[in-house]
Structure 1
Amino acid sequence: MANLVETRELTRRFGDVTAVDHVSFTVGPGEVFGLLGPNGAGKTTTVRMLTGYLPPTGGTVVVAGHDLSREPTEARQHAAVVPEEANVYVDLTIWQNLMLMAELHGVPRQVWAERGRKLLATFDLADRTGAKGRHLSKGLRQRLMLCMALVTEPSILFLDEPTSGLDVQSARLIRDLVAGLPKRGMAVFLTTHNMDEATQLCDRVAILNRGKLVAIDTPAALRARVASRAAVEITFAGPGLVADELSGLGVEAEIQPIPAGLRLTTSDPGRVAQEVCGRATAKGIRVASVNTLAPTLEDVFVQLTESAGGPPEGERP
C-alpha cells in the first residue's frame, strides 16, 4: 500500500530564519513514526505543515495520496490531530464533544454512536458521558481528544506529546492504545520528548536538529550507532571517588557524578571499571556496585543534537 504521509524537501522560512530545511521522509500504513528533537529544532513547525495549519515555503506534503496544498480537504479527511493541549469544547459534555466531531466529519450517526461507545469504554470514560469539558482533568481531556480523533477512523493520527504532564493511568491507557493502532492499518505520527516512550512505541524515529533531519531509522539501528561506547555506573558504600581522582585512566572516559557514585562513558567499559575499582580499593573505599549500561535512544539523541549545536537564533516554535 502507498505511503500515508510523504514529504519532499519540506522547507519553512520565517524571514531570514530557516525553521525547517529540506526535510524528506515517508510514513507507511500501520507504522508508528516518531519525530524527536530539542526545543526549537523545528518539530512544531513540521507538524503544523503536515496538518495543513501552516503553508510550507518550499517542498510538498502528500497525505493519503493527496497533495496537501492542492487538495487540502481531501487530505484532511484522512487525518486526525491530537495537540499537546487538549482543546475540547468546555461547555459541551463528553458525549456532545464526540457527537460534534463525528458529525463535522460526516460519520453517520448509527456508525459513530456504536464506535463512540466502544472508544469511551476503552478510555474509561463510559460512566462520565454527561460531564462537561470544563470539569475534566488534563488527563481526562486528553483521553476525550483521542476519542474525538478516533471516532472519525482516520488513516493517520498525529499525536503531539500525547502523555506530557498526564497522570500515570492516563499515560498508560494512551500508550497501550497507540501500540494497538497499527494492527488496524492506521499510521501514527508521534512527537515526544520521552525517549523511553519513543523506544517502546515507534517503528522508526526521525531526529530533527536546527531544522535539518540528522537521522532516521529504527530505534535499534540508531542505538547501534553508539554501540562502540557504553556507560559504566559505579557506586560506593560511603564517601567515594570523585572525578579529580581519576586522571590518567589510560583510556578516554567522560565522567559524570551520580547519586553515591560515578558514571563513566567509554569505548572500553571493562578496563575503565577495573581501573576505577582498583583505585577505590587502594584508597580503602568499598565499591557497592558496578553496572554496564547499553546505549539508549537518549544517548543517540544527545550525541546527534549536541554535536550540531542548538537551534538557530530567533527560531519560532
Structure 2
Amino acid sequence: MLVVDHLVRRFGDLTAVDDVSFRIAPGETYGLLGPNGAGKTTTISMIAGLLKADAGSITIAGRPMAADAVEPKRHLGLVPQDLAIYPELTATENLRFFGKLQGLRGEALDHRVREVLEVIGLADRAKDRAKEYSGGMKRRLNIGVGLLHQPELLILDEPTVGVDPQSRNSILESVEALSGEGMAVLYTTHYMEEAERLCDRIAIIDSGRLQAEGTRDELIQLAGGTDTIRLGGAGDLPAAAEKLRTRPGVERVDADRSALTLTVRDAPTLVADVVATATEAGVRLSDVEITRPTLESVFLHVTGKTLRN
C-alpha cells in the first residue's frame, strides 16, 4: 500500500529525514516510534504530499506521490497532530463539510457521517459544537475527518498527545478496529506502550534515520532478547537452582533466601516447565513473575539514549 524509498529532507544544514525506507502492506499497522524531533512528522508530511522530498520516492497504492499529485491522495487519510476541525461547528457539520471536500454527496455522505460518528464514539454528541468537547473528543473527531472517504492508508500523527487516559484508550481501540477492517495505518508516537499495543511492525527513528525495524519480538532480539522468571517460595532453593540450570532455554539462575531468578529465552513457552522442575525439586511456590524486555530497552540499545530524551 505504501512504499517509501531512500527519503531525504533537509532544512538548511539540518538533515531532518536521512535516507528513510519502509513499506506498509494492506491491513498492516506500522509504527514510527521516536522522541520529539526525531523526524516523524517531517516523514509523514512528505508521504502526504505536504512537503517536497529532496531525494527519494513515495508510492501509494502503486501511484507516485508528489506535492501536486492528486490521484495518490485519494487513497490517503491524514490525521495531523494539530487539530484540523472547526470549533464553532457541530461534529456532524464538521464531518459533512470535510466529506464534501472529499467528494461525498447525498445519501453516501449521510451514511458515512453516521458510520464515522459511531466509530469515533460521538454519535450521542453529534449535535454539540466541537468547542464544547473535551480534548479527547476533539481528537476523536479529528480522526473521524480522516476516515470519512474510507482511505486505504490512514496516517495518524501522535493522535493521543494531551488527552486523558479514558479518551486515549478509546482512540487506541478505534485504531485497532481499523486495521481489522483491512485499512493500512501509519502511526507515529513517542509512547512505546502504544506502539507495542497497536503495531504489527515498528520502526525506531532517531535523528532522522531508521535505527531498527521489525515486529516487537524481532526488535527485542536486537537488545538481547532475554526474559526473567522470578519464582518466589520456600524450600531447598539452591538444589532447585541446580536442576533449573540444566533445563533447555535457561541461561542463568540466581537463588536467594526467598526466590529464584532465571534468565531465559521466551519465558511464556518455558514457564510451565520451570514451575514443574522447581516443584519437583521441593520448592513450595508462593508466586511466579515474568518480566520481558520493552521497546524502551531496545531504543536504548540501538540509539544509546532513552526514548524520553
The number of residues matched between the two structures is 267
Q: Does 1:6 align with 2:9?
A: no
Contact persistence 2:38–2:208 (CA under 8 A): yes
1:270 to 253, 259, 263: 253
Report the counterpart of residue 24 of structure 2 in structure 1.
Answer: 27
Shift of 1:228: 4.8
Q: Does 1:298 align with 2:292?
A: no
Report the counterpart of residue 88 of structure 2 in structure 1.
Answer: 91
Contact persistence 1:231–1:269 (CA under 8 A): no
Aligned counterparts of 1:33 and 1:221: Cα–Cα separation in 2: 14
Report the counterpart of residue 131 of structure 1 in structure 2.
Answer: 128
> Once structures 1 and 2 are overlaid, which stretch shifts more, 169-178 or 64-73?
64-73
Q: Which runs of 5+ in 1 are unaligned?
A: 234-266, 279-288, 312-317
1:52 to 45, 49, 53: 49
Contact persistence 2:8–2:53 (CA under 8 A): yes
Percent of pairs with identical residues: 39
Aligned counterparts of 1:276 and 1:303: Cα–Cα separation in 2: 32
Aligned counterparts of 1:144 and 1:62: Cα–Cα separation in 2: 28
Report the counterpart of residue 211 of structure 2 in structure 1.
Answer: 214
Report the counterpart of residue 65 of structure 2 in structure 1.
Answer: 68
Deviations 1:199-254 (A, max 9, x none): 11100011112211111111111112224555799xxxxxxxxxxxxxxxxxxxxx
Indicate the SS of the match to 1:270: strand
Aligned counterparts of 2:44 and 2:192: Cα–Cα separation in 1: 19
RMSD in angstroms over aligned alpha carbons? Answer: 2.9
Shift of 1:293: 2.0
TM-score normalised per structure 2: 0.77
After the TM superposition, which parts of structure 1 deviate over 6 Å for at least 4 consecutive aligned residues? Answer: 275-278, 307-311
Q: Letter of the 1:204 partner, please give it.
A: R
Shift of 1:185: 1.8
Deviations 1:106-154 (A, max 9, x none): 0122112112112212333122222122222211111111221111101
Indicate the SS of the match to 1:56: coil
Contact persistence 2:9–2:15 (CA under 8 A): yes
Question: Residues 78 and 299 from structure 1, CA distance in 2 versus in 1: closer, same or farther, beyond 3 angstroms?
Answer: same
Contact persistence 1:209–1:310 (CA under 8 A): no
